[in-house]
Structure 1
Amino acid sequence: MLQRKTIDSWQVEYEQLPYPNVQKGMVLSPEKMQQHDPFLLMAEDWFKRGAFSDHPHRGFQTITYVVDGRLEHFDNAGGHSILDAGDMQYMNAGGAARHAEEAVDDDLIHTLQLWLNLPKDQKFTDTYYENVRVDEAPTFDIDNGQVRVYSGDVAGTKGPTKSVYPFTMVEVYLKEGAEYELPLDAADTAFCYVLAGEASVGTDDVALSRAGVAVFERGEEGESTVLLKAKTRTRILVYAGTPIGEPVAAGGPFVMNTEDEIQQAFRDYHAGKFGPTSQPQGR
């Protein structure tokens, strides 16, 4: 069994932004989307209401984790929900998503949003949203810790997310001095992000603190583990997914395989093919 080492690690850097945005950091840079296949980018945002009003998407999926505050979602199919800290929303943009993600009232919302690519034959699938509340994601206990499974199958515990293209997302809680070998498919791209505390990860014991990121080596088909060690009480998010291996063209809110397909997406949006503007519900 492959015991994974890290192949890259870094500390997220942040920039201050004008209101209603507040602060932003790139956890995964879009400049490295080919190396992180099937993951396109991951952004960490603090924002107020009005930052992410009505906008379109096509050709990929998003996984939004609420770190703190309340996140309001509404879309032009009539969907509406409010997510709290620890909740996750999965979206398959598919062929034509149009929605908004807003802070509730005067909240300052803090989120992590991961963009997950879709294969060419799934880029025009139906738009779909799913909320996974923190108390709906199953957990299992480990020595001096706990694992919460939002998506995927980890050690026989299955997360509830019904994604079009599969991925694994877990949150690992470790007490000071605890360690855990997280099982993952060896061929999957995998990375972690430290939500709180200090840890070392991988067989090479790379040290990470709050907002630290590590990408792990891949292997052939079969099983593998990622070693997580807590220096202090620690919370770590781990994501994994199978590389797609197709050309990627990205433009604004669209991710396709060619530049021509990106331009067609813009034409379709301006022609009204993404439907009417999404409106807040009951506010």
Structure 2
Amino acid sequence: MTNEHFAFQRNVKDHWYVQYEEVGFPSIQKGWVLPVERWKEFDPFVLMAEDWFKRGTFSDHPHRGFQTVTYVIDGRLEHIDNAGGRDILEPGDVQYMNAGWAARHAEEAVENDIAHTLQLWLNLPKSQKNTETTYQNIYQEDAPVVRFDGGFVRVFSGEVAGVKGPMDSVVPITLSEITLTEGATFIHNIPETHNAFIYVLSGDLDIGVEKVNLKKHGVATLTYNEGGDTKRGSELVLKSNHRRSKVLIYSGTPIKEEIVPYGPFVMNTMDEIRQAFRDFHNGKFGPPAV
């Protein structure tokens, strides 16, 4: 018998719906997909925010000690960094940033657009918090697509469905966008030791062996085999109850270090947070991103 026959079967560990609040202009609305106070449950992920915003909301600002993965749901997003990088991302595109030791950038809505984004904060191990700052844009058409009966999976990061996504993150993760028509079923395979969560962009799905139902704006954390084999896969069954269901699934290996998420920084101690603020105010992050 093959190893796949004994694959770890994923289920929903916890689930909820995102609560949104209106915020002051030029920001419009915000919701916490992954609330930061629960970061230990989400490790290696720290938080995920869903934002609707106009230009001027996320102008020049610093980061240190983590990575971001930004998925554009709607509108256009302009990336500007103080190393001369500048680009525009459109719906379905993803940007990866390793803030490393000192990022300084801006994320702006283009012209009069309302940008609608999901931004995930992905922790860096203590040993890699001082790595070089890098950015990578992954355009929708550059992410490989695998079709199946009743839908398709687009792979942005990691090895999924026999293909490898183009994202080159310091801490390897998987990120897949899965689209299903009504009645379609897909078995999503990711390493059994990965902590994982799912976010429903649209539609209505039954998730896992126990068929937990989730609709648009639903979030679920998934069971995983913490002491398992890093080379063995696990299976998550998805079944769509809507003509157009779309979900994002993120997974990664827990880092298991204490962290302090504070303001724009994620470090291991409060002293390191204070040092990051001092370094920023002393100009060590470089010139503004404009």
Shorter-normalised TM-score: what interval? over 0.9
Match of 1:198 among 199, 204, 210: 204
State yes or no: 1:274 paired with 2:289: no
Code of the aligned partner of 2:271: D
- Alpha-carbon offset, residue 155 of structure 1: 2.3
Q: C-alpha root-mean-square deviation of aligned residues, in Å?
A: 0.6
Q: Summarize deviations over 1:42-61 as a string: whole Å, max 9, x none.
A: 00000000000000000000
Code of the aligned partner of 2:26: P
Q: Summarize deviations over 1:110-159 as a string: whole Å, max 9, x none.
A: 00000000001110100000000000000011111100000000022000
State yes or no: 1:167 paired with 2:173: yes
Q: Aligned residue for 1:120?
A: 126
CA distance in structure 2 between the aligned counterparts of 1:179 and 1:213, rounded to whole angstroms: 19
CA distance in structure 2 between the aligned counterparts of 1:251 and 1:275, rounded to whole angstroms: 21
- Residue pair 2:146, 2:161 contacting (<8 A) in 1 also: no
Partner SS, residue 121 of structure 1 = helix
Partner SS, residue 209 of structure 2 = coil
CA distance in structure 1 between the aligned counterparts of 2:190 and 2:173, rounded to whole angstroms: 11
* Contiguous gaps of at least 5 residues in structure 1: none
- Residue pair 2:138, 2:166 contacting (<8 A) in 1 also: yes
Q: Aligned residue for 1:229?
A: 239
CA distance in structure 2 between the aligned counterparts of 1:33 and 1:42, rounded to whole angstroms: 10
- Alpha-carbon offset, residue 251 of structure 1: 1.1
Partner SS, residue 58 of structure 2 = coil
Match of 1:96 among 85, 91, 102: 102
- Residue pair 2:16, 2:219 contacting (<8 A) in 1 also: yes
Partner SS, residue 125 of structure 1 = coil
TM normalised by structure 1 equals 0.98
CA distance in structure 2 between the aligned counterparts of 1:226 and 1:50, rounded to whole angstroms: 40
Match of 1:243 among 236, 242, 254: 254
State yes or no: 1:17 paired with 2:23: yes
CA distance in structure 2 between the aligned counterparts of 1:205 and 1:136, rounded to whole angstroms: 32
- Alpha-carbon offset, residue 214 of structure 1: 0.6
Q: Which stretch shows the higher mean deviation, 217-226 or 91-100?
A: 217-226
Match of 1:43 among 32, 35, 49: 49
Q: How does 1:200-215 map to 2 (within 5 A)?
A: 200-215=206-221
Match of 1:147 among 153, 159, 162: 153
Match of 1:26 among 20, 23, 32: 32
TM normalised by structure 2 equals 0.95
Q: Aligned residue for 1:261?
A: 272
- Alpha-carbon offset, residue 184 of structure 1: 0.7
CA distance in structure 2 between the aligned counterparts of 1:133 and 1:261, rounded to whole angstroms: 35
Q: How many residues align?
A: 279
* Contiguous gaps of at least 5 residues in structure 2: 1-6
